[in-house]
Amino acid sequence: MTATRRLLQAASKLQREQLAALSATVAVVSDISRCVHALQRERGSSIIYLGSGGSRFGAQRDQRVADSELAQATLEQRLAPWTAPETDGALPHGLADVRLLLSVAAVWQDLDTLPDLRQRIATQQLSADDTLRAFNQVIGHLLQVIFEAADTASDPDIMRRLVSLFHFIQGKELAGQERACGALGFTLAHFDAPHRDTMATLIGSQRRCFATFAEFTSPDSLARWQQLQSGPLHDTFEALRELACSDTSLARTLDNPGEEWYAVATQRIDAMHEEETRLLDALRACCHQRLQQAEPTDTAASLDALPQTRLWASPVALFTQQQAPTGALTLDTIESRFNRSLVELVQAQNARLQRIGDELESTRQALRERREIERAKGLLMTHQHLSEAQAYRLLRKTAMDQSKPLIEVARNVIQVVEMFDPQG
């Protein structure tokens, strides 16, 4: 066996291992998606339960808790082999990245806190706002796993699908927070200024997430999403949104405002969950297809069939297609089936790796820029005491005033804060 053949086989084997790791990670992402959806529904019913002083949604909340516990058990079963003592530090596919591993650890810690959280809600020892924040933290850590999975993907098509899925699920989570915040305000028949501001922030953040989703998703998925943004359900929801963001007296407008809002918002989120399921199905199918395509076929078979003599009759440019000087190649080399096949094979492999590298770098750049913008926004919220919406508006206004890209302004903010406050 030649060194070239061994290297090509090693590259093929590594590609299959990377795709298997992605496939394993996607399976975890699927379970996370189901767990997030269940927790979102539990959060909404818990807010109405607490907002009504325990007089409403008691039975509904109990059912949502049971649904969440089932989804949580499924996720923990999926993650169990990753933490089994008998693995002796040998990590399974999908856990080779430090940030991904730390994100999974944070999720596991959060899941352990849920029984106590539910008990405190049942006995009304928590306020609705504190409950909202607690669920938001748990779900946020679950979404972080999906983000890290997208950032570690090595296949450009799979990575694009993961990026699209992440932003769609994040947008859906913001819709879930809006449902919970709206449920509290409608149940109390009043939105004070902080909660109206929260609603406005959540609406704006959703739009940004879904805009990024639209940039990366498939045309079919985009068409379905656009269809969801029209129709009677959308009109009813927008009318309720307008009430929530205004200072209108809600008690005289709706019979059971909290429950009506929750029902309409839930229909919207359930429709999102159906699209989320389609995105996951397409992602799994893509992983399966890539694994099948990566099965060892042409590389080993074609080299096995080639003669093992006179392999290199003369130098051959493997990685470029530049015109060789006249007479540089002998007739034997030109006519050598091995040289032609091997050159074409390595050239094709190199071109494919270059194309994949370019596509991955482009997508990873988008993820890195998003992370930096989110960090800059968080620093402004902390140091300038701004809301999320105010921080984002300030970043955008500064970018427009200075005629600079938003990412450049975000990086400047981070640098200034780090200069005067190294702890961030």
**Each residue's pLDDT tens digit, 300-321:** 544 554 444 333 333 433 334 4
pLDDT at 352: 56
Task: Look up tokens 């997208």; give the residue.
Answer: 150
For residue 214, what are the contacts with CB-CB under 8 A and spacing of at least 6? 222, 225
Q: How far apart are CA 271 and CA 37, in angstroms?
A: 12
> Could you write out the three-class secondary structure of 254-288?
CCCHHHHHHHHHHHHHHHHHHHHHHHHHHHHHHHH
For residue 345, give the nearest of 5, 67, 28 by alpha carbon.
5
Residue 364 reports pLDDT greater than 80: no
pLDDT at 297: 53
The residue count for the chain = 424
Boundaries of CATH 1.10.10.10 in the chain? 357-420
pLDDT at 122: 95
Task: Look up tokens 């399974």; give the residue.
Answer: 92
The pair of structure tokens assigned to 224 is 């379905």
Q: How far apart are CA 378 and CA 36, in angstroms?
A: 23
- pLDDT tens, position by position, 64-103: 999 999 999 999 998 887 776 655 555 555 455 777 788 8
Q: Using DSSP, state whether 316 is helix, strand or coil.
A: coil
Q: How far apart are CA 201 and CA 196, in angstroms?
A: 9
Q: Are 381 and 387 spatial neighbours (Cβ–Cβ below 8 Å)?
A: yes
Q: Are 217 and 279 spatial neighbours (Cβ–Cβ below 8 Å)?
A: yes
pTM, two decimal places? 0.70
- pLDDT tens, position by position, 170-209: 899 999 999 999 988 888 888 888 888 888 889 988 998 8
CB atoms within 10 A of CB 303: 19
For residue 57, what are the contacts with CB-CB under 8 A and spacing of at least 6? 45, 48, 49, 259
> Dihedral of the CA atoms 94, 103, 217, 242 (nearest 10)?
160
Burial class (CB in 10 A: 0-12, 13-18, 19+), 318: middle
Confidence of residue 167 (pLDDT cuts 50, 70, 90): confident
Domain 357-420 sits in CATH at 1.10.10.10
Q: Are 175 and 271 spatial neighbours (Cβ–Cβ below 8 Å)?
A: no
For residue 76, give the nearest of 132, 19, 114 by alpha carbon.
114
The pair of structure tokens assigned to 385 is 């005491």
**Average pLDDT taken over every residue of the chain:** 79
Q: How far apart are CA 412 and CA 410, in angstroms?
A: 5
The pair of structure tokens assigned to 382 is 């902390």
Find the angle CA(289)-CA(293)-CA(295) to the nearest 5 degrees: 120
The pair of structure tokens assigned to 71 is 């989804």
For residue 26, give the nearest of 129, 111, 140, 152 by alpha carbon.
152
The pair of structure tokens assigned to 240 is 């309720």
